[in-house]
Structure 1
């Protein structure tokens, strides 16, 4: 499944995750990534339901990101091995253009609250299951219980959202579930890749641009001419600078310091943050039941990220 030598994650040289200082730094890096990712669902839905299309969002995200991070790859081009360039290519398939297109498709067919709940909340569940099933890592009772709480909160959130907005589109739901699984695979592979957080971010943007931008231009997929300059600048900054640069780097740092499952669990707080942001930005107000569901997810996240399970 992984295409690399299978070793236990716990066997890889890594920071001392029992250290309070290490865990605090990891949580702070995850919090930065969380804040940007939460806004991304709202900002992306704002545009894909108006002038810009899914293809424009992907082009702006990775085109701008590739330019921003090009010095990382050009400064010492011989530093990365061929296997690391290949790994970067796989990263671009897991958390690059295909991921963005799947989430954008889910956003057009659901709401910001539903989309931000499904993919990010399923990601730590997939990460834990894949880590346990394929990499031989042990999952203590606390972490399994935490992940069960996250899943219960997600289920309640989807049911509550269906009561007010109607059931989510099957296609949109499938797109978001697939995106969550791909994100989990990326998280586990990055932890084992030997790449630094900034190198992984640069490779994702490079390969995504190389693979997608020519098709975007040749097939005439652009709708930039139909959007205002303000909207284009907003998306270029948020997608290209914050998402492709800052968010990927900070999430990777969190994975390095906390481990993939704990870092992924913190990202499950996305529904809470995105739901709050969607109130003023999109007018999507969570119901009392949705608020309870978000609280259950938050409890699960706190349990999963509090300390490593032995």
Structure 2
């Protein structure tokens, strides 16, 4: 999508509005005077990368989610030092990618406004703009986050693709997110990929008796087995119909018991999440974009650092 068209889309979608109270210290126009071109710079660089490689949209959205769920939205997932001890080296984050986009955006900002824009704000903006490139929704990103100085591999305890509904709800509640946010944000699985190793047990040895998960559509199990033999770890798309386009088709997959992960399939085990799924299927996702925008704004507020806390990193991979 051309940058000009993207700007028009942002303006049009902005008319819809997302009404969420801003936490103290975050403002929509935080950099208006100190770095007035900040959001335009982020958008330009992000569009350049994601237009060339659309799969980066899912990767960058995932990175933002993984960052916010550990120590809050403070950019701590970006840190490399001390080597092999930070969040990015924890097992669930080893497949996270897209760091080069964040680094390129940060470098462009440092050339224009050195020491002003935090890496935490960069990641929040990049995730939003990457989704827009693949026809996803726009949402407002209040700014003013500070960067954390601490990143520990041992603290990474993310919602697992192997979790049931009770464990997922608790993980989200602990971060100030509710059941609606859980099912809405799960809709991001309409884009992106995973690996066969994550689903091997579910399709080959679910209970230790060479069986598959009975909650999965049998035809879907057979399709997955054709893609993933017991010995390989190839990539596999989460939603084959919309892997490069952000839409509500994920909910159709889940309703048909074709959720790739247990964490997808278990959304049919809760009345509220199940109702939301079937509503989106029945209405062709009529409210999904607005709902997703609302939940992403809430996610961006999780345990943020503002004011005198944290710092503004010069390089996102290292503390100052």
Answer whether TM exceeds 0.5 for this pair: no
Question: Which structure dedicates a bigger proportion of its chain to helix?
Answer: 1
TM-score, normalised by the number of residues in structure 1: 0.30
Greater relative CO, 1 or 2 (CA 8 Å, sep 6+)? 1
